[in-house]
Amino acid sequence: MSLFDWFANRRKSGSLSKERQEREIADGLWSKCPACGVLTYTKDLRTNQMVCPDCGHHLRIFADQRVQQLIDPGTWRPLDEDLCPVDPLKFRDRKAYQDRLRETQDKTGLRDAVQTGLGQLDRLPLGLGVMDFRFMGGSMGSVVGEKLTRLIERATRERLPVVIVCASGGARMQEGMLSLMQMAKISAALERHREAGLLYVPVLTHPTTGGVTASFAMLGDIIVAEPKATIGFAGRRVVEQTLREKLPDDFQTSEYLLTHGFVDTIVPRTQLKQTLAQLIRLHQPYPPSPAQASQFVHVPDHLPESLSVNSVRAD
Amino acid sequence: MTLSDRKPILLDFEKPLVELDSRIAQIRELAEENDVDVSDQIQQLEARATQLRQEIFSSLTPSQRLQVARHPRRPSTLDYIQAISDEWIELHGDRSTGIDDLALVGGIARLDGRPVVMLGHQKGRDTKDNVRRNFGMASPGGYRKAMRLMNHANRFSMPIITFIDTPGAYAGVEAERLGQGEAIAYNLREMFRLEVPILCTVIGEGGSGGALGIGVGDRLMMFEHSVYTVASPEACAAILWKDASKAPQAAEALKITAADLKALGILDQILPEPIGGAHADPLKAAETLKQALLENLAELTRLSRSQLKELRYQKFRSIGMFTQLSA
């Protein structure tokens, strides 16, 4: 029985009892789509890359899942995992930044809001950076700036294309102007990568705003977005306050940016890997060098099963 | 730029000064009426006033500094350009969006005999002017005009001098539609490509990405009472404290003053202001600015094009604080 038949049957047979539903959601066996409310067996949802099979809503996923979805098994080599944030301003709002960092690190098991590394995507070597919204809203401070800059510099040296999956509220206020300057630092590294004639593709996911939009998110040779992601410079509420009027529903969505010419293509998550592979292949030199040509003919019989990424957390 | 004939605009922390000044005036008047010589006392009181002014302005809190930086009479980009250049022609338009953004102005000037491109955010001088200039909040067209002028400078080997003075890039529907994020991002990357010296000075308010969009250079200078922020203290307070009235605390926490940014390694040079702030003596402030620009320009002119680009890269490459466990 296909998933769709299953859904059709389920609708006919009526919904599960409320009590049972809640218990099974709590167990993580079932997941409820925040957009359409339909329950999906979590395993099926994961097979579908956390895209609701009913309405196509892209649920939020985290960096390790994204790496797993994009990188060929066994090829991921994380970089600079040991970079840790510090508290240069001794910043304190309602809570001390240092405490906030420690709590977030304990809760997420992450050191900061980006994972970077080298790996292969459909047998194509590349540098990949993935921002993680769990970690203080994916905000960009010194560590995010440094890790992405090192990734881009490494990719420039090794002549690799770079893909960065963006998900961020913008610059991290708790590191003050150091955060703002990371925008310039990353852009500088991208300038050298570009100068070297290499391809850079940012993937904009929900949400991509503020200082990330005003730097590396918008600097792609080709810009890809996930469907219905919020993408903008100023937050929607800020714009509403500036103008004191209601904004159109599709304002600052992927679709809005596509219409206005600021993203090249909207790609559903389930097709992201193959689209990125296609884009990278289209930018390889022609005629292909013998080494690259072999990529087209040599297909290994068995792909390695093991993954070096962290196991996926059930959310 | 004589502002003495206009009624001064007072900030709340200047009140003790005003009281002292009016007392001096009172005594002078009384003495004249009664024909008594009080010049000694007046001299003493005036010395006291100068001392008090100095004390107040040397120990401003970050949020008081923000008030000085936003002072309506603070010299603007066009004020400085007119004061420091031998000649100046303003140029308009980005050749693409179809609107000339008056919140970001630029053109070609002659600085001590040398042609340079000057550009910067322009706040209005009064309410009407401020509406026209959108309070110095530039739109994508402004950033693209700036880039067009910087490319022009690069083509004709002219140094680029930018003046930063904006509450932030404009946050409106039109600005978003025209790609505010893209316009700023593009400048950030392209400014690393340019092969002429770039000098950036924060003359008033450096508001976040809107400031950085013309702020990538070989030297970053700030006037003593200017501020440069990752987010406005008001926005920061609203987001992190969930209470906009906590803006003074946010201003303190964000480290926005010239001295703080020098300590963080972001700023190269602090330009001292006349006592009472740049608006108290705009010509003196302009003279300080001109000297600093000429000195830095002389240093940068000695570098080759590739050295210039390499050093600019390294300057930004080194910004950031973190620890590496294995190191």
Helix segments in chain B, DSSP class H: 15-34, 39-58, 62-69, 77-84, 127-132, 140-155, 173-177, 180-190, 208-212, 233-236, 247-253, 258-263, 282-301, 305-317
**B209 to A178: CB separation less than 8 angstroms, yes or no:** no
B314 — contact with chain A (CB < 8 Å)?
no
Residues B212 and B285 in one domain: yes
Judged by a CB distance cut-off of 8 A, whether residue A202 touches chain B is: no
Residue A161, pLDDT above cutoff 90? yes
Asked if residue B255 lies in contact with residue B236, where contact means CB atoms within 8 angstroms, the answer is no
Using a CB-CB cut-off of 8 Å, the residues of chain B touching A258 are none
d(CA B227, CA B261): 9
Q: How large a percentage of chain A has pLDDT more than 90? A: 75
CATH of the domain spanning A61-299, picked from 3.40.640.10, 3.90.226.10, 3.20.20.70, 3.40.718.10 = 3.90.226.10
Whether residues B293 and B150 fall in one domain: yes
In this prediction, residue B34 carries a pLDDT of: 85
Sequence ranges of the domains in chain A: 61-299
Q: In B, residues 228-247, which contact A (CB 8 Å cutoff)? A: 228-231, 235-236, 239-242
B265 pLDDT band, cuts 50/70/90, is very high
Q: How far off is chain B from A79, nearest CA to CA, in Å?
A: 12
Q: Is the pLDDT of residue B318 over 80?
A: yes
When mean pLDDT is compared across A93-97, A171-175, A180-184, B18-22, the lowest value belongs to B18-22
Query: In the predicted model, is pLDDT for residue B241 greater than 50?
Result: yes
Residues B96 and B207 in one domain: yes
A305 pLDDT exceeds 60? no
Tell me which chain A residues have a C-beta less than 8 angstroms from the C-beta of B236. 173
* C-beta atoms surrounding B217 within 10 Å: 25
| pLDDT, position A314 | 40
Report ipTM for this prediction: 0.94
Q: Is A115 helix (H, G, I), strand (E, B) or coil?
A: strand
| pLDDT 10s digits, A1-56 | 566 666 666 555 555 566 666 666 666 899 999 999 999 999 999 999 999 999 99
CATH of the domain at B180: 3.90.226.10
Q: Which amino acid is at A66?
A: R
pLDDT in tens, B8-34: 788 889 888 888 888 888 888 888 888
- B3 lies in some domain: no
pLDDT at B290 over 70: yes
Q: What is the pLDDT of residue A8?
A: 60
Asked if B174 and B259 sit in the same domain, the reply is: yes
pLDDT on residue A294: 60
Domain presence at residue B108: yes
What single string gives the DSSP state of each residue in A137-200? GG-B-HHHHHHHHHHHHHHHHTT--EEEEEEE-SB-GGGHHHHHHHHHHHHHHHHHHHHTT--E
Measure B28 CA to nearest chain A CA, in Å. 49
The verdict on A178 touching B (C-beta cutoff 8 Å) is: yes
> Beta strand A162-168 with A124-131: parallel, antiparallel or unpaired?
parallel
> If contacts are CB pairs under 8 Å, which of residues 252-281 in chain A contact chain B?
252, 260-262
Res A207: pLDDT: 96
Q: Do B48 and B142 fall into the same domain?
A: no
Q: Please tell me the pTM assigned to this model.
A: 0.90
CB-based contacts of A37: which residues, under 8 Å, 6+ apart? Answer: none
Residues B41 and B75 occupy one common structural domain:
no
CB of A137 within 8 A of CB of A214? no
- In-domain check, residue B157: yes
Does one domain contain both B42 and B179? no
Largest CA distance in chain B: 81
Query: Same domain, yes or no, for B297 and B209?
Result: yes
Q: Does A93 touch chain B (CB under 8 A)?
A: yes
One domain, residues B141 and B55 = no
More confident residue, A199 or A28: A199
Residue B324 is assigned to a structural domain of this protein:
no
Percent of chain B with pLDDT over 90: 78
Q: What is the mean pLDDT of residues B247-276?
A: 96
Say yes or no: B27 and B172 in one domain. Answer: no
Residue B185 sits at the chain A interface (C-beta within 8 Å): yes
Q: At A274, is the secondary structure helix, strand, or coil?
A: helix
Can you give the residue range of the structural domain that contains B91?
65-318
- Asked if A280 and A155 count as a contact pair (C-beta separation under 8 A), the reply is no
State residue B15's pLDDT score.
87
pLDDT at A222: 98
State both tokens at B228.
């440069």
Query: How many CB pairs (< 8 A) connect A and B?
Result: 189
Same domain, B37 and B95: no
Residues 6+ apart with CB under 8 A from A153: A189, A192
Asked whether residue B142 is assigned to any structural domain, the reply reads yes
Of all residues in chain A, the one with the smallest CA distance to B206 is A177
Take residue A114 and report the two structure tokens written for it: 């980006």
Q: What is the pLDDT of residue A114?
A: 98
- Closest Cα to residue A146, out of A109, A107, A175, A103? A175
What are the CA-CA distances from residue A302 to residues A72, A73, A112, A274, A306 (Å)?
Answer: 12, 11, 35, 19, 12
**What total of structural domains would you count in chain B?**
2
For A104, other C-beta atoms within 10 Å of its C-beta total 18
Mean pLDDT of chain B: 94
Q: Is residue B2 part of a domain?
A: no
Query: Is A7 buried (19+), middle (13-18) or exposed (0-12) by CB count in 10 A?
Result: middle
* Claim to verify: residue B239 and residue B305 sit in the same structural domain: yes
Tell me the nearest-neighbour CA distance from B224 into chain A, angstroms: 17
Residue contact B189–A188, C-beta within 8 A: yes
